[in-house]
Structure 1
Amino acid sequence: MAATNRAGLITASHKVVKKHYTSAETDSRPLLEQLAFAALLENSPRAAAEQCFSVLSTNYFDWNEVRVTSLVELSEVCAKLPQPQSSAHKLKSILQNVFETLYTYDLESLKKLNQGKAIKQIERFTGITQFIVGYVTQNALGGHAVPTDDALVELMRILGIISDAEAKKKSVPGMERAIPKTKGVEYSSLIHELAVDFLVNPYSKKVRDYILEIAPDAKSRFPKRPTAKEEAAAEAAAEEKRVIKARKRAAAIKKANEKPVKPTAGKPTKKAAKKKGPSVVEKRVPEKKPVEKPAPKAAAEKKTAEKKPTKKKVVKKSTGAISKRKPK
């Protein structure tokens, strides 16, 4: 799309959303709280994000308690958000990584750095997204940026402001040039509400009318409502995925709980014996028969028998030899 057409549609979108939505003011929270709030606000209505943030600030002692809270419990706190598990995971990851990196939750010193250096430091934290970086750049670091999440990218594609290729890259070029810095916070908060409304309910007639007011040719790009059969097939596929995921999780838990049985030394398991044959230990050395010692009396008799001289055999001479002798 030509830059003039893109800028014209962005300017038109600002005029339309200003008629139907209420803009927010600049966020004056500390930098860490802005990171936490942006994690909740991404792809979520501002009212729901504010309510969730209020619960976390009131019901928990500090952000360290939020950090050590289980993901399941945080997801329950974020239940009113469109993507509670994703929002809770981002929040927990950011708090965990900030603590492990700096051992503190005070990030106000980053505001004193050069804007580029501060953004690079923030981007190193796990869980930080393009939307969160844009939000803190605009509200905490004094820069000009329009926070961009999946909801805004899809809305800009439907409006024809970006192409399908740009949507895959999650890039919306030209917004900072078309919207002046003095109107950045106002436009960001207004267009975000329209984008989230379209994400949550893309078949709403009111939301579609707002979009057609900006770009009349957007009707051809609206998603088609699925038929009853397609909805049933989608629900069946989603249910099958949930069942498979639950089975894998149960198998992983069972495997983790099972303690491996260590074979005793010198006694290989039956399975190993079948595969490898008899081990070296199993080959028995033939036993030597013990030499029986004779009783003391029998031994003495044996010795005496051995000492007795054997009788010499007397050889009888034949009669013929005697007759030849002369008489004395």
Structure 2
Amino acid sequence: MSASNRAARITKLQAALKKHYKPHPDGATRPLLEHVLYASLLQDAPSELADEGMAKCEQEFYDWNEVRVTSVTELTQVLSRLPEPAKAAERLKSNLQAIFEEFYTFDLDHLKKENLGRAVTKFEKMPAMTPFVLSYTIQHGLAGHSIPIDYSAMVIMLVTEIASQPEANTGKVPGLERAIPKNKGIDFSGLLHQCAVALNKNPKDKTARTVIDAVDKGSSKRLDEWLANKKAAKKRVVKRKTIERAEAEEAAKIEAEMEKLAPTKKGGKKSTGKKAAAATPAVKTDTKAAAAKEKKAAEAKEAAKSSKSSATGSKKAAASKSTKASSAAKSATKKVAAKKPAATKSAAKKTPAKPASKKKSASSTSSKKATASKSTSKKKTAKKADNRKLTKRKPR
């Protein structure tokens, strides 16, 4: 829709509201904090019930800090006369908590002296700050120009085609503040809220339908279509939930049946486990016998290896002993031969050395040679002694 057509419809709506509704007195004397809290209760609720809920909170609780720490269920009981007490209690408590965390105090009047943009950014950061509560706080508490639109008022904007569905999802109507001047903003928002709450409470309210038909003749039909679609959507949601519940119940039944069958399966598993346990001892005995055989074979191999090593060691020891004895005999013969070369020569002539045809052990040959050399040396010494005796005797 073009901006001019939208502005024209907004002016028609303003004129129809003035004709059928009277403005509600505003609460300009409230501090800034109470404007925020009152807007939390006023959203989608009549102003009379919002005033009553505000008065009950002030009577039931000592201060707003006590309201902040109170449970949502208790606040819901206090605000039970509101159309949606649970949502209103949640908004009230959440906004109080966010304000305390942001400013660590409930005195917010210093924000009126600051720049409007800074104050708005601080409020926008709060998680429970809805577009309606923010716009109402800007309009009534910070003296700004912003027209609050809640869900009920957005329905009127939709059926009169002042706002489209994507624009309605954002919670704001573009061009509304330009079409309505600032000095008439509070009155317009109050009248619009009265009509919207009445239509939300009773979709067949005659006064509200005449107002929307004054803006556009087909608005009442569009409202009926919208309500029918809403009912159909609710039915679809209910049907989907029932199907989900039925599926969940069936799944629970199947799980219960499986749990009942589980013990029998466990018993079967236990019996099979016993059979397996009975079969395992035979397998274990076979493996033990095979292991014992392998150990015996390994021990026999090790014993054979040790015997072989001991035999080779004894042979080596004997050979080393014989070589030592032969070396000792050779050294002895060399000494004797050095002292008496003549005796060795004659002994060599008398007893010629025979070549050894067969290889004998080195120890036996060396011992025989040693004994022979000793005997020949004794004989030679005896002969030399006789010769000396003969030579010393002089002939007579």
Report TM bin, short chain: 0.5 to 0.7
- Per the alignment, residue 212 of structure 1 pairs with 213
- Cα distance between partner residues in 1 of 2:111 and 2:233: 49
1:21 alignment partner AA: Y
Q: Deviations for 1:53-84, whole angstroms, at most 9, x for unmatched residues?
A: 11111222111111111101111222222221
SS in structure 2 at match of 1:24: coil
- Cα distance between partner residues in 1 of 2:65 and 2:74: 15
Instruction: Give the Å deviation of 1:235.
Output: 10
Alignment of structure 1 residues 41-190 onto 2, 5 Å: 41-190=42-191
Let me know the Cα RMSD of the aligned residues.
Answer: 2.8
Higher relative contact order (CA 8 A, sep 6+): 1
Check 1:235–1:52 CA distance in 2 against 1; reply closer, same or farther (3 A cut): farther
Q: Deviations for 1:70-125, whole angstroms, at most 9, x for unmatched residues?
A: 10111122222222111110100011122233221111111111000011112222
**Scaled by the length of structure 2, what TM-score is found?**
0.56
Matched, 1:15 2:15: yes
Greater shift in the superposed pair: 12-21 or 39-48 = 12-21
SS in structure 2 at match of 1:223: helix
Task: Work out the percentage of aligned pairs sharing the same amino acid.
Answer: 38
Return the structure number with greater helix share. Answer: 2
Check 1:233–1:146 CA distance in 2 against 1; reply closer, same or farther (3 A cut): closer
Contact 1:158 1:218 in 2 (8 A): yes
- Cα distance between partner residues in 1 of 2:87 and 2:198: 18
Structure having the higher Rg: 2
**What stretches of structure 1 move > 4 A for 4+ residues in a row?**
224-227, 229-241
Contact 2:196 2:208 in 1 (8 A): no
Number of aligned residue pairs: give it. 244
Check 1:74–1:239 CA distance in 2 against 1; reply closer, same or farther (3 A cut): farther
- Cα distance between partner residues in 2 of 1:46 and 1:183: 19
Instruction: Give the Å deviation of 1:174.
Output: 1.1
- Cα distance between partner residues in 2 of 1:209 and 1:104: 46
Contact 1:24 1:185 in 2 (8 A): no
1:101 alignment partner AA: E
1:12 alignment partner AA: K
1:35 alignment partner AA: V
Alignment of structure 1 residues 207-286 onto 2, 5 Å: 207-224=208-225
Contact 2:20 2:207 in 1 (8 A): no
- Cα distance between partner residues in 2 of 1:180 and 1:22: 19
- Cα distance between partner residues in 2 of 1:226 and 1:68: 41
SS in structure 1 at match of 2:224: coil
Check 1:25–1:238 CA distance in 2 against 1; reply closer, same or farther (3 A cut): farther
Q: Deviations for 1:238-281, whole angstroms, at most 9, x for unmatched residues?
A: 9959x99xx9xxxxxxxxxxxxxxxxxxxxxxxxxxxxxxxxxx
Instruction: Give the Å deviation of 1:36.
Output: 0.3
Contact 1:25 1:185 in 2 (8 A): no
- Per the alignment, residue 256 of structure 2 pairs with none
- Cα distance between partner residues in 2 of 1:163 and 1:153: 10
SS in structure 1 at match of 2:218: helix
